Amino acid sequence: MKRTILILSLLLLIPPAALVSQEAPAAELYLLTCGPGTETYSIYGHSALRVVIPEKNSDMVYNWGVFDFATTNFAWKFAKGRLKYSLGVSSYDRFLKEYFLEQRWVVSQKLNIHSNEIQKLFDLIAENLKPDNVSYKYDFFYDNCSTRIRDLIEKALGEVLVYPPEKPEKELSTFRSLIGKYEKGYPWLQFGTDLLIGSPADKKASFRNTMFLPLELRDGLSECLVRREGKMIPLLTDPVLVVDFPTPDSKEKLLSSPLFILSLVLIAMIILTAAIRTRNANNIIDLILFSLFSVLALFMIFFNFFAEHIETRWNLNIIWLSPFLLICLTSLILKKDWSIWFRVVFFMTTAFLAFLVILPQDINNASVPLILILMLRSSIRSGFRWNPLTLPYLTQL
């Protein structure tokens, strides 16, 4: 969703009082949906709300996806889940110009709502613009630039807003599969996302909850109806393309995919493990590998237990990227043969792989070569006599 910084003209461009005092019949509201960009933060698209007040010659866009890269400790706050997002306001022309420069399409749809409902929306926006409310704690699945617009519309329309019937649960998509649609052209990003987000992402998303993604918000609200004097009318008018650019090519390239590259690494590790038997050479190989795995284990520990992101909790990848990897790395650094800890890692990774298909979390296929590499290298340091690849100076069992 949109991450770049818009002008925060909360009091300068259009004061909250102007919205509240404005007679609603003279105003028009539009849902703006912006296409995916090429930057990591923009591949999911963006949503905003356009408010046109002809009598005041006002044409403003309200955007709940504003944050500042210059925020103190930005990276830490983002990782920790404490980064504040804000409601920003810009002119409609400026908004379109930015997307024109980014070569991203923008679609506009008018809301078919009555004057009293428009006034309720004005009141809600004015409340959002108050200094105490202008910033909020961002949640990727449940509180973002799209869900904020959905929530405003729900509150303003109340019971006259009609959602379509819910699909059977087996036909619903998970949060993970929904975001995966937008990451298909970015396999390494998808791999990283799948590695970091936990089992909450594998929960089925209801019709309402799918609208955390801007394009799903557009499609979802386009299916909604409004009760009007015994009749049902569409909530949104037909889409109008106001900025026209093609959606970036999202074709996945096999030869650069993580599954292909990591599979090659696995093959190379099998060959090296069979060919290299000396202590020093194996120590160097494992120092490199277990350092990398330990970094991933630290990520698992941090995002599982210390970050405030709901979606990164209960991540079952911590079973194979476990804290025991840090002990294994320590043994390598100290040049100690702590084979017991390598056995623990071996059995945990083996069990994880054996039960992979029945886990309540979808595991990215590119993780499998890494799991096999970890199984291979931990097994040769476990001292198993039955393993022909066990390092001769470590044979104990």
270 and 225 in a single domain? The answer is no
In sequence order, the 6+-apart residues with CB closer than 8 A to the CB of 144 are: 1, 64, 65, 85, 138, 212
Q: Is 355 contained in some domain? A: yes
136 and 273 in a single domain? The answer is no
Q: Is 8 contained in some domain? A: no
Mean pLDDT of the chain: 90
87 and 23 in a single domain? The answer is yes
Mean predicted confidence (pLDDT) in 245-256: 81
Mean predicted confidence (pLDDT) in 278-298: 96
159 and 294 in a single domain? The answer is no
Provide the CA 279 distance to its chain's centre, in angstroms.
43
How many CB atoms sit inside 10 A of residue 59's CB?
17
343 and 221 in a single domain? The answer is no
Q: Is 249 contained in some domain? A: no
Q: Is 187 contained in some domain? A: no
d(CA 83, CA 390): 48
Provide the CA 185 distance to its chain's centre, in angstroms.
15
236 and 375 in a single domain? The answer is no
Identity of residue 19: L
The residue from 193, 217, 243 where one domain ends is 243
The residue from 197, 220, 243 where one domain ends is 243
Residue whose tokens read 């039960």? 355
d(CA 69, CA 75): 9
239 and 278 in a single domain? The answer is no
229 and 273 in a single domain? The answer is no
pLDDT attached to residue 395:
56
Q: Is 210 contained in some domain? A: yes
Please tell me which residue, 212 or 74, carries the higher pLDDT value.
212
pLDDT attached to residue 208:
98
Res. 298: pLDDT tops 90: yes
pLDDT attached to residue 152:
98
The token pair at 140 is 């990727």
pLDDT attached to residue 22:
43
240-243 and 106-110 as β-strands: parallel, antiparallel, unpaired? Answer: antiparallel
Taking phi over 0 as left and psi of -120 to 50 as alpha, with beta for the rest, 364 belongs to: beta
Cα end-to-end distance, the chain, whole Å = 54
106-110 and 135-137 as β-strands: parallel, antiparallel, unpaired? Answer: unpaired
Q: Is 139 contained in some domain? A: yes
The token pair at 22 is 């404005």
Cβ–Cβ < 8 Å for 104, 234: no
pLDDT attached to residue 71:
72
The residue from 190, 224, 243 where one domain ends is 243
> pLDDT tens digit string along 28-45?
999 999 999 988 889 999
Per mean pLDDT, which range of 5-9, 195-199, 311-315 is the poorest?
Answer: 5-9
78 and 220 in a single domain? The answer is yes
230 and 82 in a single domain? The answer is yes
240-243 and 58-66 as β-strands: parallel, antiparallel, unpaired? Answer: unpaired
> pLDDT tens digit string along 356-371?
999 999 999 999 999 9
The token pair at 265 is 């690494």
pLDDT attached to residue 5:
37
**Where in the sequence is the domain holding 381, given as residue range(s)?**
254-394
Res. 200: pLDDT tops 60: yes
CA angle 52, 212, 149 (to 5 degrees): 25
Q: Is 376 contained in some domain? A: yes
> pLDDT tens digit string along 63-84?
999 987 667 777 777 778 888 8
* Total tally of structural domains belonging to the chain: 2
143 and 269 in a single domain? The answer is no
d(CA 126, CA 62): 11
Q: Is 195 contained in some domain? A: no
62 and 97 in a single domain? The answer is yes
Residue whose tokens read 């996945």? 252
